[in-house]
Each structure stands twice: as C-alpha cells, then as structure tokens.
Amino acid sequence: MAYTVRLVKLVTGELVLGKYDADAKTLSEVALMQMAPSQQGMQILILPYGYPFDPGFSGVIKAEHFMYEYARLPDDLETKYLEAISNLTLHTGGLGGLNLKDGPPDLLIRK
C-alpha cells in the first residue's frame, strides 16, 4: 500500500495528520495536532486522535470528512509525525555532518 503523509482539516475543525491511501481514500494512523503555549511561544503537540482513551495511532478517517487538505506539509512536521507513530528518532544530514567524499578522515586510517 503506497501512502503519503497529509495534513488536513476535518469538518469538525480539527487539524490532523495521517497516512493517506489514495486507493481507499482514507487517512490512517491519524494524529491530532494541538497548539499549546510554552515559555518559548507556541508549541505543537502531536497526539493519537483517540487520546486519552485510545493511546495508539490506529484510527482511520474517510476523505469525505475532510474540509480542507493542505497542499504542502512542512518536512519537519512530517518527520515529527513519523517519529511519533514509530517511536523512533529520525535524523537528517547523514553521518553527523561527516564529509566522506574525499575518503575517510585521517584518524580512521591505520598505517
């Protein structure tokens, strides 16, 4: 099953993220986005849609309940969503910024 992560506003006014299946026209593993004030400004919380009664990302919503579909999903928001549903931490940028185009660093070469 091929999917893309989409951000939509439901007819209830809630902002949700999920894996969109174009064939079934559904959003699965649905996460609710909530804004919360913090000392640094506003913070975005990503919670399972059924939280607190369903603590897992297991919900499915049909596309007929979408009021608005955002054309573009910010990359960092997609990364945070994927981290939340998988309990993994995703890093971008390769091996901690090591430049290995010119070969290994000198300290790794044993003579």
pLDDT digits (tens, 9 = 90+) for 54-68: 888 888 999 999 999
* pLDDT of res. 16: 95
Q: Report yes or no on 18 lying in a domain.
A: yes
Which phi and psi angles does 94 have, rounded to 5°? 80, -140
Q: Is the CB of residue 31 less than 8 Å from the CB of residue 18?
A: yes
Structure tokens at 99: 């430049």
Average pLDDT of the residues in 83-97: 65
Q: Is residue 44 part of a domain?
A: yes
CATH number at residue 25: 2.30.30.100
**79 is a domain residue:** yes
What is the extent of the structural domain holding 55?
Answer: 4-86
Q: What is the pLDDT, as a whole number, of residue 111?
A: 42
Residue 9 lies in a domain: yes
Question: Is it the case that residue 86 has pLDDT exceeding 80?
Answer: yes
3-state secondary structure of 85: helix
96 found inside a domain: no
Residue 55: inside a domain, yes or no? Answer: yes
Instruction: Note the pLDDT of residue 57.
Output: 87
- Whether 73 maps to a domain, the answer reads yes
- Give 108's pLDDT tier (boundaries 50, 70, 90): very low
Question: Within a domain: residue 43?
Answer: yes
Count the domains in the chain: 1
pLDDT at 9: 96
pLDDT-derived band at 5, boundaries 50, 70, 90 = very high
Closest to 69 measured CA to CA, from 2, 3, 7: 7
